[in-house]
Amino acid sequence: MTDSESSEILLEGTFGILPNNERLYHVALSKKGISYTECDSNGKSAGKSLLIAFKDVTGAKIQNHEDLINSGCAKCRTARVSSLSECYLTIYCYPRVPKTSGDSTRKAKKMTLVMGPCKEYDRNYKICQTWRNTILNLLRNVDLGKGDVETCSPPPQRKILVLINPHSGPGKAKQIFEKGVMKMLEEADISYKVVVTERAGHATELMKTINISEWYGVVIVSGDGLIYEAINGLMSRPDWDKAITLPVGAIPGGSGNAMSLNINYTAGEPLDVNQVLHSTFVLIKHRVIPMDLVLIQTPAQQLYSFLSVSFGIIADIDYESEKMRALGATRFTVYFLKRLVSLRKYKARVSFLPLTEYDPDARQQKRREQTFAKSRRFTILSHSSTSTNIGNGSVYENGTNGIYRSMSLPNNGRKERSLSMPTMKNVSESLQNEFRHRQEENDLAEVDEDAENVTFELEKAESYEKSKRLSSDQDGVMMMNGNHNHNEDAESDTSDSPFEETVSMVKNSGDPVPSPLLTPLDSPVPSDWITIEDEFVTACALYQPYLGPDNLTAPDSRLNDGLIHMFLIRGEVTKVALLNLFLSIDKGEHVKSPICEMVKVLAFRIEPLTETGNIMVDGEKVPFGPIQGQVLPGMAKVMGVQ
């Protein structure tokens, strides 16, 4: 949108603004927002023009005389409401205001326009309605022209399912929703149904059985455990490919709340204060954005993870501190100190498929960026699925063969791989399609001339080349741009995001979820994987930047970069070095520490070589033993701003 398009005046009028209804203002509505200027006694604009930017506006409501009198707003209640024929339009906004510390936080504000140019209430109501409908459409990014505003109807109301875990974190999720979230949703005219979970596993059961087309999305008021449950419920349905496109939103009600932190971080919202307000704001202003999932296999289960797999000290802290959930995030600090004092080291075999060539010497030389000299690209040429029923029995039995070609091999040599690769169409984010996306027909399989079956391209290298967040150095080495791309403009169009194109899969209904990069857990990893057998303080697979508050564990990670970030700390560390590393993790500076290894990979396997320990998937404990995973780029959808 050009500047002149966004500044074009779509509606204008002379109205009062509460609480002082005696002055008149010239009010103009453009795609940027609502500007208002006080009028002089001759009705001419005089003075400074102020703007309420739509990027901060969450909703607009028509109110009559009685609504206003009953309004909770003290200023409006005592306002001079002069005539019963007047109609009122209240606009809700949450602009960022500076804090004394220099940062900013959003604050609730509202403006009530007094629309009373006509003598009859009905005519004033009609004016109010035109303004309200125009604002609501612009908030949903509908491209309205001047000719559309008089006739546009309000966009369809969104209906969300809200799941609240009364036992998450300090046990305040219900109050958080009732006191902090409900009012904002109502202002934004979002309808919702609340389900308070009754037991562990309840959210999974619900997600397995709900009629997906009935809901716009599901919002979790809890910690990461309930999000994990919801995602696994959706992925365990026979129609998992459609179900997983149900957008998920997160309001922090637990102790770690990594998902909501990461959504806010991606949106460029403040992270240190008013988490609930900022999360609800993002929820209301959201676009549907893709989020990577990681398909996880243990000997007994196949799971879907959105955050992390941890082993070693990170898993120990997470699991052992659970009994102190009521402390909120403090539980992690307390247990870190405890585990540091009696430091455990775990012998293990860690294998991974690196995105680019892995340089084992980089650890010593701290030249990690230069290890990513060549990007990988895989093409699945064909597959022969054995149609094994994942979820039943052990994944040791679920291995299936496929043929793939590594584009980096000069002879395009073929290798044995696993499982079929069904494909799923990504969802368009355009507003016009927002309700249509779950009904979309599957794309047809793209047939390769040489191969019988489905073609799948994991085009990570191309994604990176296209990405705005990547830069290349003078040697042509592709590396992540460490600067977080804070998008100030929540309305910006993300439809050209390279990540939308990351995976284009076609699925035959009922097919199992694909895992083409993995071999069965009891077979060796493919020959082009890297294997490190050593003693580890921790080995984690991370796919979101924050693992918890003040815990920017994978600073280069993005919600949808299509990558797993392997975070390794070997056994040969001192406690002081470890303490220093953890003290710098709040800003993500730990990656500079010589004891920290971060490797971008597409798939991994962790095989503990000790008898006991903890392995956590998204903060949930799984049986101790071998575990592996591969990224499913952009598989889930979240309500965020990117």
Ligand X SMILES: Nc1ncnc2c1ncn2[C@@H]1O[C@H](COP(=O)(O)OP(=O)(O)OP(=O)(O)O)[C@@H](O)[C@H]1O
* Contact residue for ligand X among 16, 155, 256, 312 (CB under 6 A): 256
Stretch that binds ligand X, among 164-172, 243-251, 501-509, 564-572 (CB under 6 A): 164-172
Q: How far apart are CA 543 and CA 531, in angstroms?
A: 20
Q: Does 453 bind ligand X (CB under 6 A)?
A: no
Query: What is the DSSP annotation of 471-528?
Result: EE-TT--EEE--S----S-TT---TT-GGGGS---B--TTPPPP-TTPPPTTSPPPTT
Stretch that binds ligand X, among 162-170, 375-383, 439-447, 495-503 (CB under 6 A): 162-170
Burial readout 245-256 (b: 16 or more C-beta within 10 A, e: otherwise): bbbbbbbbbbbb
* Contact residue for ligand X among 35, 255, 375, 628 (CB under 6 A): 255
Cβ at position 304, least distance to ligand X in Å: 15
Stretch that binds ligand X, among 45-53, 197-205, 364-372, 566-574 (CB under 6 A): 197-205
Q: For residue 429, which phi and psi values (nearest 5 degrees)? A: -95, 0
Q: Let me know: does 111 contact 91? Beta carbons within 8 Å.
A: yes
State which H helix or E strand residue 349 sits in.
strand 346-354
3-state secondary structure of 381: strand
* Contact residue for ligand X among 93, 138, 226, 307 (CB under 6 A): 226
x/- letters, 320..359, toward ligand X (CB under 6 A) = -----x----------------------------------
* Contact residue for ligand X among 222, 398, 467, 519 (CB under 6 A): 222
Q: How far apart are CA 527 and CA 442, in angstroms?
A: 34
Query: What is the DSSP annotation of 172-237?
Result: -HHHHIIIIIHHHHHHTT-EEEEEE--STTHHHHHHHHS-GGG-SEEEEEE-HHHHHHHHHHHHTS
Q: Closer CB to ligand X, residue 156 or residue 201?
A: 201
Residue 367, token pair as written in the block: 């030249």
Q: Closer CB to ligand X, residue 160 or residue 518?
A: 160
Q: Let me know: does 92 contact 187? Beta carbons within 8 Å.
A: yes
Please give the order of strands across the beta sheet that includes 456-458: 414-418, 401-406, 378-383, 456-458
Q: Closer CB to ligand X, residue 260 or residue 455?
A: 260
Cβ at position 592, least distance to ligand X in Å: 27
Cβ at position 321, least distance to ligand X in Å: 9
**Cis amide leading into 95 (omega within 30):** no
Say if residue 299 is exposed, middle or buried (CB neighbours under 10 Å; 0-12, 13-18, 19+).
middle
Cβ contacts of 633 within 8 Å, gap of 6 or more? 290, 292, 458, 460, 499, 502, 503, 560, 562
Sign of CA dihedral 302, 308, 314, 319: negative
Q: Closer CB to ligand X, residue 171 or residue 393?
A: 171
x/- letters, 288..327, toward ligand X (CB under 6 A) = -------------------------------------x--
Q: Closer CB to ligand X, residue 167 or residue 405?
A: 167
**DSSP annotation of 151:** T
Residue 144: C-alpha distances to residues 1, 150, 529, 608 (Å):
12, 10, 52, 58
Q: Let me know: does 259 contact 547? Beta carbons within 8 Å.
A: no
Cβ at position 177, least distance to ligand X in Å: 13
* Contact residue for ligand X among 16, 225, 514, 608 (CB under 6 A): 225
The amino acid at residue 419 is L
Q: Does 257 bind ligand X (CB under 6 A)?
A: yes
Cβ at position 464, least distance to ligand X in Å: 31
Cβ contacts of 209 within 8 Å, gap of 6 or more? none
Cβ at position 198, least distance to ligand X in Å: 5
Residues 202-221 close enough to bind ligand X by CB under 6 A:
202
Cβ contacts of 337 within 8 Å, gap of 6 or more? none
The amino acid at residue 423 is T
Q: How far apart are CA 31 and CA 23, in angstroms?
A: 25
Cβ at position 290, least distance to ligand X in Å: 22
Q: Does 621 bind ligand X (CB under 6 A)?
A: no
Cβ at position 455, least distance to ligand X in Å: 39
Q: Closer CB to ligand X, residue 285 or residue 331?
A: 331
Stretch that binds ligand X, among 9-17, 160-168, 243-251, 552-560 (CB under 6 A): 160-168
Cβ at position 227, least distance to ligand X in Å: 7
Q: Does 200 bind ligand X (CB under 6 A)?
A: yes
Q: Does 223 bind ligand X (CB under 6 A)?
A: yes
Q: Closer CB to ligand X, residue 202 or residue 208?
A: 202
Residue 87, token pair as written in the block: 């109609």
Cβ at position 553, least distance to ligand X in Å: 14
Cβ contacts of 339 within 8 Å, gap of 6 or more? 313, 316, 317, 320
* Contact residue for ligand X among 130, 134, 165, 553 (CB under 6 A): 165
Q: How many residues bind ligand X (CB under 6 A)?
A: 23
* Contact residue for ligand X among 124, 134, 137, 168 (CB under 6 A): 168
Stretch that binds ligand X, among 181-189, 225-233, 404-412, 593-601 (CB under 6 A): 225-233
Q: Closer CB to ligand X, residue 256 or residue 354?
A: 256
Stretch that binds ligand X, among 12-20, 255-263, 283-291, 344-352 (CB under 6 A): 255-263
Q: Does 198 bind ligand X (CB under 6 A)?
A: yes
Q: Does 175 bind ligand X (CB under 6 A)?
A: no
Q: Which residues bind ligand X (CB under 6 A)?
A: 165-169, 197-200, 202, 222-226, 229, 254-257, 325, 619-620
